[in-house]
Structure 1
Amino acid sequence: MSTAVDDDLWSAVGDPTRRRMIDRLLADGTGTATSLSEQIPVTRQAIAKHLAVLDRAGLVHGATAGRERRYRVDEAQLARAVAQLNAVGSAWDSRLDRIKRIAETIQRTGGGSTAEPDTEHRNEKE
């Protein structure tokens, strides 16, 4: 399973309304734009647009059921999104640990500068 960051996937799950829709679909198994709009305070038209974004990202799949499309979550694609989030989180945890160790070393050794900032450069930025 690839953990390379997929911007479309992240953009799709980055919206709180779409995350709520995924939660509802996971809880209910399936849903339509109408059923989701009854549970989430967003118009049916907005729900339909959000479903289209989720569908393009592969997070949900729709099948025609009468006059509406019934959507379900693609759990494999959702697992891929979770793996990406975990990988990015782990990378940031490592970076933050490294920064913390550097800061602790500077503090222990009394390093660091207490000199005034270079006013000439500061004035250039203002």
Structure 2
Amino acid sequence: MFAALGDPARLRIVARLCESGPLSIVRLTEGADMTRQAVTKHLHALSDAGLVRSERSGRESLWRLDPRRLEEAQRYLGQISARWDQALVRLTALVESEGRDEA
């Protein structure tokens, strides 16, 4: 999932789907500096990562985000952030205690 989001083009597609809701490949290509083929390739990579899914609407497919995977990523990043916060608290306490010992 993070590898899929690590690509700037894919991240722009995800951001666009967040802002606009479900879009067709034609709409996703509008204003993008990519061909339909490139957008399709990126959508399939995002789909393989479980981040987007497509649904048929008449003659075209609409692509939408699958929020479950993004929520999973958010939880994971929250855990990492909490660990970093704890490590920084410990580091601050260590630096402050060494400063008192030297005084």
| TM class by smaller structure | 0.7 to 0.9
The yes-or-no answer on 1:93 pairing with 2:76 is: no
Larger Rg: 1
Distance 1:44 1:97, change over 3 A: farther
Per the TM alignment, residue 74 of structure 1 is displaced from its structure 2 partner at its CA by: 0.7
Pairwise mapping of residues 62-77 of structure 1 onto structure 2 (< 5 A)? 62-65=54-57, 66=59, 68-77=60-69
Per the TM alignment, residue 55 of structure 1 is displaced from its structure 2 partner at its CA by: 0.3
The yes-or-no answer on 1:37 pairing with 2:26 is: no
What whole-Å deviation, never above 9, does each CA across 1:66-95 have from its counterpart, x for those lacking one?
Answer: 2x4321001122211111111111111211
C-alpha RMSD of matched pairs (Å):
2.0
| Alignment partner of 1:26 out of 18, 35, 43 | 18
Question: Normalization by structure 2: what TM-score?
Answer: 0.81
- 5+ unaligned residues in a row in structure 1: which ranges? 1-8, 112-126
* More strand, by proportion: 2
Q: Percent identity?
A: 34
Q: Which moved more, 1:29-38 or 1:48-57?
A: 29-38
Corresponding residue for 1:124? none
Segments of 4+ moved more than 3 angstroms: none
Aligned length: 102
Measure the CA separation in 2 of the matches of 1:13 and 1:19.
5
Distance 1:109 1:51, change over 3 A: same
- 5+ unaligned residues in a row in structure 2: which ranges? none
Q: Which amino acid aligns with 1:27?
A: E
Measure the CA separation in 2 of the matches of 1:59 and 1:82.
13
